[in-house]
Amino acid sequence: MAKPEQERSAPEQLRRGIRFAELGRLEEALKCYEEATRIEPRFVYAWYNKGFVLQELGRFEQAVECYSEAINIDPSHVSAWYSKGVALAKVGRHREAIECFDQVLRLDPNLTLGREAKKKAEEELKRIT
């Protein structure tokens, strides 16, 4: 059994959140990530995971905010840039999504997912304009 001070640590909240997310208990995972970011506001992994869970819940604008926070903490966090782009595309903000995917490709030029996502966002932008 974890000690009370460990249960309150940001890394422990992150671990609990991951376990809940793996079980599909996303709201409980979200609470853990929220607690982790409250305890340690610059905990990039908690912000990223919080964004991921919000995105899974269809709360894309809130996910974008979390990914932005993760990027502010660690501008080289490729997954946060990629996920932010995906969330932006989901809410029709394709130009911003393309900017995120451009950053993904600057950070990791070989990331096929980044290239594919950018192409899809560009096609969608052309379709709607």
Quote the CA–CA distance of 59 and 49 in Å, as a whole number. 13
Taken in order of first residue, the domains within the chain and their CATH numbers are 1-58 (1.25.40), 75-129 (1.25.40.10)
Q: How confident is the model at residue 6 (pLDDT cuts 50, 70, 90)?
A: low
Taking the CA atoms of residue 69, residue 94, residue 112 and residue 103 in that order, the dihedral angle to the nearest 10 degrees is: -50
Could you read off the pLDDT of 81-124 as tens digits, one per residue?
999 999 999 999 999 999 999 999 999 999 999 999 999 999 99
Q: How confident is the model at residue 45 (pLDDT cuts 50, 70, 90)?
A: very high
pLDDT confidence of residue 129: 86
Q: What is the DSSP letter of 25?
A: -
